[in-house]
Amino acid sequence: MAATGSTFSIHRSTDGETIEGNLKVLLANFVMALRNGSTASQPEIEPVDQAVDKRVRTAKIGSEHRAVLFQITGEKDRRHFVLAGIYRNEVAADKARRLQLRVNPINGVTELIEKPAADIIAPASTVVPPQQTVSTTDTPPLEAGSLAGVSPTEKQKADNTTDNAPDNVDATANDGDTTGGMAPGEPDTGVSSPPEEPTVPDNGATEKPHGSNRTNPAQFLRSREYTPQLLFNELGIDPETTDIVLGLEDESYLGAALSHRPGWEQEAITGMLLGYSFDQIAKDLGLDTSRKDTAAGTPEAVGNNAPATETEEDDRLIDGLKHPAVRGEFHFLTSDGGDDELKKELEKVLDALSFNKWLVYLPQAQSRPATSDFSGSSRISGGAGTGKTVVALHRANNLVNCTIGGKSSTGKSADNPGRVLLTTYTRSLADSLEEQMSLLAPDYRQAKKMNEPGLMIAGIDKTVAMVIQDATTEEVMAATKNVLGFSMTTRPGVLEDLAAANIWTEVIDLDSGELPGEVANKTFLTNEYQAVVLAQGINDLAGYRRATRTGRGIALNRKARTQVWNLIRAFNQTCASEAKVTFAARAAIAAEILITRNTTIFDHVVVDEAQDFHAGHWRFLRACVERGRNDIFLAEDAHQRIYGQRLVLSHFGIETRGRSQKLRVNYRTTAENLSYAVKILDNEQWLGSGDGDDVDDVKGLNSIRSGPRPVMEILPTETAEVDRAAEFIRQWKKDNPEATIGVLTRTRAIVSRVAAALQEQEINAVTQSLKKALDDADCLVTTMHSAKGLEFTNVILISVNKSMLPLRYKAKGLGADEAREFNRKERALLYVASSRARDKLVVLSSGESSELLPAPTAATGN
């Protein structure tokens, strides 16, 4: 019987039953009864015969399920229960027999280990990531000549081309190239991470295409002589984990292959593949490896001899459940304000187990930046699906609750919170953030307007508009004069992109013809206006002549600068006369208003999708918040920069050096889809917002999930593509009526044609809202740009043709650097689209496929 005041931890089970409906109610009652030690309604907890761990128990939850849990009794009979999962009656006992809760003998972390049945234990040489083949039930029958993705290893390629190959794929075909596939620190934080962009030593991997930056894990470990025993002695990594890694040739599959292992081990292995030392890895994960000098042998041998008594061992288990490195796997129920608060916390945890684990279970790589107290601005970067938005949400919530550093730098408290802004690039993305924050913190202190205590969630341009709307006529006149060189007596409206392009075309006609075509074009002038003129606050010729133009590609002498300035001045004059300015200029005007007032409107700012913010946005955000502790936090991915230009944020007074971290574990996309998507990024250099050559690579990026390989098909016409897409959609909806399906393409015109054609085939395709697509329709048909920030169960990319990606007419007349940047954005756009799929990805083309797609092998005929 449980003693009064028993404590409880809940593991983020990945293979148990979905906890919802009546099962959720029954489980909540069960946990509360154990937690409170009620003698009137104590659940019956039964030991398990022949179990690996004598602490394991099962308990009846309703008529069809049993809880698998561990009962731990520490010093002074303090009793703690660890819920490992909920399973159906017929499998619960077998599951319980194979589970072991233990303290890592080297680092003190509590680990939940599942011992495989003897008949499924495989030697390291045969360990391969799960589900690498394409089942014939995964997709409808494919037409001859189709290609199903890229396999991870030579062995797997051989396997996948024989018995496991679908009927529609040539079993003799070479599946593809195996050479590529697809953390905050400063003295006063108490948190350490690698340098912003560490120099990674030679890793012993096979030669890779330029730009791929991918690592062969097996070759890496062997080249460093990282044996199973060495990694156990240094960090406590189980030899079984090292054996698995020694069987991997593509790092994309690291997470999926280690999905049954403790999460901290995956983070540690990822750090090794990046070239970090054992000491650095231990420091990043908060591991105390002081025991390593006295420990030896296997985890089991050391573990059995470490504690003097069973009580001491149980105490270590309980303490290890609170270790920062296990926050992504165990949640220790902490509410001490009575049953009501405990029930609220428990409900949130149970909801997280079923649908949104990110609400509660943050791995150390995400938890650290979400909770750290920084001396200034800070930054995270990472590929699609690595949890950047999750970190931004948690950090914003922690800031408004003043739980970072115990108290905000403004001296506010949870009862009197500071002014926090959570912002992103578009209105739809802001709406999504608001919905997710309502899940994370349903009762969060909401600020409806700027300068109000609490958390305001708004798109960046909406926030700019608030400042403009609040300004006096005098403030508007002064700010527009400072930004444009011309005063406006009315609040400036928005000059949309098409209207701005038309004005640039008109002012270019004023040029004498002496400027070369790559300068006298609207793309160059738009970028020059944003990245140089607005970024540096230039409003006259003298200022433009002095301006720094680093990174602009085309050098301009004194005469050329005068000619370019005349065009920019004419553009500004037209804007002033029409009382409309570009979004970038509007943000710069709002910044001038705040600077003139000598006041700020927020204490902390959290930015999601920061890679697309332009110079005006950064000037505005710098003016919004005073420089200081935790002032600006940003999340970015240079590979998803589909709108803005690369900017160095230190030029705007936003310094993140020493306070930057990269996320490298993908929690959304399968390893197969990730492997395909990152190949799109090859042969390009991607730079982040840090100083100098802040290269943002995909090295170490891996997925925790595995699934079917992407399918590529080339068809005769767009009509044939739509017919093929309809086949996939029908099959997917038949297999899983709850599947969310996105059909993504490059232009709005194709969206309209595809949606109409699908409707003619009695497929309910919508083009407007994701919510409507989920609730009422079979699929959402939208542009690749509009899909930014969304995710789907399955995705079809349609009309990925040479004429569509890159969209060549938009590059007409561009100089070499501008054209290169345009192609880079088109490549980023295709990467964004490819990474929207959680499970299945299909790429359809007609005629000649896009040159941006990963090259299929000659044997496929595609």
861 is in an annotated binding site: no
Rg (the chain; Cα; Å): 28
Q: Are residues 655 and 196 in contact, defined by beta-carbon separation less than 8 angstroms?
A: no
Q: Are residues 222 and 233 in contact, defined by beta-carbon separation less than 8 angstroms?
A: no
What residues does 423 pair with on adjacent strands? 458, 607
The Cα-based distances of 66 to 30, 163, 207, 615 in angstroms read: 11, 38, 51, 57
Helix, strand, or coil (residue 765): strand
Burial track 753-775 (b if 16+ CB lie within 10 A, e otherwise):
bbbebbeeeebebbbeebeebee
Q: How many residues does the chain have?
A: 862
199 is in an annotated binding site: no
Structure tokens at 701: 């990026």
Structure tokens at 181: 């596939």
If residue 565 lies in a helix (H) or strand (E), which one and from where to where?
helix 558-578
Structure tokens at 733: 């909806």
Q: How far apart are CA 714 and CA 799, in angstroms?
A: 9
Strand order in the sheet with 7-11: 45-47, 56-61, 65-73, 79-88, 7-11, 330-332
387 is in an annotated binding site: yes
CA triplet 38, 40, 41: central angle to 5 degrees? 80
384 is in an annotated binding site: yes
Q: Are residues 394 and 674 in contact, defined by beta-carbon separation less than 8 angstroms?
A: no
If residue 263 lies in a helix (H) or strand (E), which one and from where to where?
helix 263-273
Query: Which amino acid, residue 427?
Result: R
247 is in an annotated binding site: no
Question: 3-class secondary structure for 413-448?
Answer: ECCECCEEEEEECCHHHHHHHHHHHHHHCCCCCECC
215 is in an annotated binding site: no
Helix, strand, or coil (residue 455): strand
39 is in an annotated binding site: no
Q: Are residues 71 and 203 in contact, defined by beta-carbon separation less than 8 angstroms?
A: no
Residue 721's nearest CA partner among 818, 588, 814, 844 is 844
Q: Are residues 743 and 793 in contact, defined by beta-carbon separation less than 8 angstroms?
A: no
Residues 6+ apart with CB under 8 A from 602: 419, 420, 421, 450, 451, 456, 624, 625
Cis peptide before 129 (omega within 30 of 0): no
658 is in an annotated binding site: no
Q: How far apart are CA 579 and CA 676, in angstroms?
A: 47
CA atoms within 13 A on the CB side of 206: 13
Q: Are residues 816 and 808 in contact, defined by beta-carbon separation less than 8 angstroms?
A: no
Q: Which residues are annotated as a binding site for ATP?
A: 382-389
Q: Which residues are annotated as a binding site?
A: 382-389
